[in-house]
Amino acid sequence: MRAVIKAVAGPGCSFVHDRPEPDLLPGQVRLAVAATSVCGTDASIHAHGPAARALGLRLPITMGHEVAGTVIEVGPHTAGPALGTRVGVETHLACGRCWACREGSGHNCADLALLGVDVDGAFAERVVVPAASCFEVPEEMSLETAALLEPAGSAMHAVQRCGVPMGGASVLVSGAGPVGLVLVEIALALGARSVVVVEPNAARRRLATARGALALDLDSDPVGEADRRTRERRGFDVAFECSGVLPALEALLDRVRNEGTVMVVGLAGGDLPVPVTRTFITRGLTVRGSWGRAIWSTWEQLSALVGAGHVDLDGLVTHRLPLSDLPAALALMRGDAGKVLLLPSLADSQEPGRTADAGADLQGVPA
């Protein structure tokens, strides 16, 4: 089958026409891929950047993880979606056996596998996934939209985990990529008093403004530009770091009020020295990470917000390309593009072969 594979530990990938189909085991289903979207993690895998190396890629592997499709084959002894069911896929593949899984926290699985990192992924005509990882797509939702539930779910889960009621809250978002933009819409839909976005790219700032945020460049003072209550409190109630840039995370620690919360959402390489006494004791800050999505509460709440028109996932998509055009997709993401979809139904624009020019790792470009 046609697929994009990462075969060696170095920059680049290969587009092939003869990738063998994965075996279908008990508990699994095979999907015909309708749409798959490209994110910053894919860029780092393509460039073999720090974030990708930290994930411990199992090579060779079919890349891609944000996907929706239709069940075309069901494995033996498998309970789950029937043939013909349209599904999105939870790409953090939980074992179902460990303590976290038994307690209903599969996203914290002790033996977690990642689609497109540990097992063959979705930049292909077909993909095999656990039946238990499939989310049935509502009738009124397109499969292109459903392919965005996974990345948008990262924003939803961050809001769920932050511990700050959104009603009446002042919110700061660093990075207006797709995850940051969805976070803006979720926060406002749940009653946030104000949302301020810091983003260096002018086109992305316009997208944030269109979604109801006050969008500022890096030279602005978010607290000084915020509403009166935020200025009086000398900081925001909660801040979400979505860009994966360490200096941005460091800045957020100074932009939340005393006893405020900073959520780390974007994947960043490297370490950040933190003044422990000032950050955690005298200022009493809470710093939390958000990993993946809660299964299935994140999907259900996000799907409801999308269905009610509060979150516009379709508006994130700026380009649709064939599977063969992953390098072009990554180049677009380094510019002003929003979400780029790879659609197996589109005719390939190039012959099979290796793409050695990986371009820059997109660490620091909002996912």
**Is 174 a domain residue?**
yes
The last residue of a domain, from among 249, 274, 289: 289
- Do 122 and 186 share a domain, yes or no? no
Mean pLDDT throughout 39-57? 87
pTM: 0.92
**Is 24 a domain residue?**
yes
Give burial (CB, 10 Å; 0-12/13-18/19+) of 328. middle
Is pLDDT above 50 for 93? yes
Mean pLDDT throughout 96-101? 96
- Do 247 and 330 share a domain, yes or no? no
Q: Which pLDDT score is estimated for 267?
A: 84
The number of domains in the chain is 2
Is pLDDT above 50 for 5? yes
Task: State how far the alpha carbon of 280 is from the alpha carbons of 191, 240, 260, 272, 304, in Å.
Answer: 28, 17, 10, 15, 36
- Do 170 and 279 share a domain, yes or no? yes
- Taking only the tens place, the pLDDT of each residue in 142-158 is 999 999 999 999 999 99
Beta-bridge partners for 320: 341
Domain boundaries, position 226: 153-289
- Do 129 and 186 share a domain, yes or no? no
- Do 197 and 262 share a domain, yes or no? yes
Sign of the dihedral through C-alpha 169, 174, 180, 184: positive
Task: State how far the alpha carbon of 117 is from the alpha carbons of 62, 93, 149, 154, 262, in Å.
Answer: 8, 11, 19, 17, 28
- Do 54 and 80 share a domain, yes or no? yes
**Is 141 a domain residue?**
yes
Q: Which pLDDT score is estimated for 348?
A: 86
**Is 237 a domain residue?**
yes
- Do 166 and 39 share a domain, yes or no? no
**Is 295 a domain residue?**
no
Please report which confidence band the pLDDT of residue 355 belongs to, taking 50, 70 and 90 as the band edges.
low
- Do 21 and 61 share a domain, yes or no? yes
Please report which confidence band the pLDDT of residue 87 belongs to, taking 50, 70 and 90 as the band edges.
very high
- Do 318 and 266 share a domain, yes or no? no
Please report which confidence band the pLDDT of residue 40 belongs to, taking 50, 70 and 90 as the band edges.
confident
Size (the chain), residues: 367
- Do 113 and 213 share a domain, yes or no? no
**Is 298 a domain residue?**
no
CATH code (residue 173): 3.40.50.720
- Taking only the tens place, the pLDDT of each residue in 285-332 is 999 999 999 999 999 999 999 999 999 999 999 999 999 999 999 999
- Do 172 and 284 share a domain, yes or no? yes
- Do 21 and 110 share a domain, yes or no? yes
The last residue of a domain, from among 289, 321, 339: 289
**Is 133 a domain residue?**
yes
Q: Which pLDDT score is estimated for 354?
A: 57
357 or 361: whose pLDDT is higher?
A: 357
**Is 351 a domain residue?**
yes
C-alpha span between 237 and 234 (Å, rounded): 10
CATH code (residue 330): 3.90.180.10
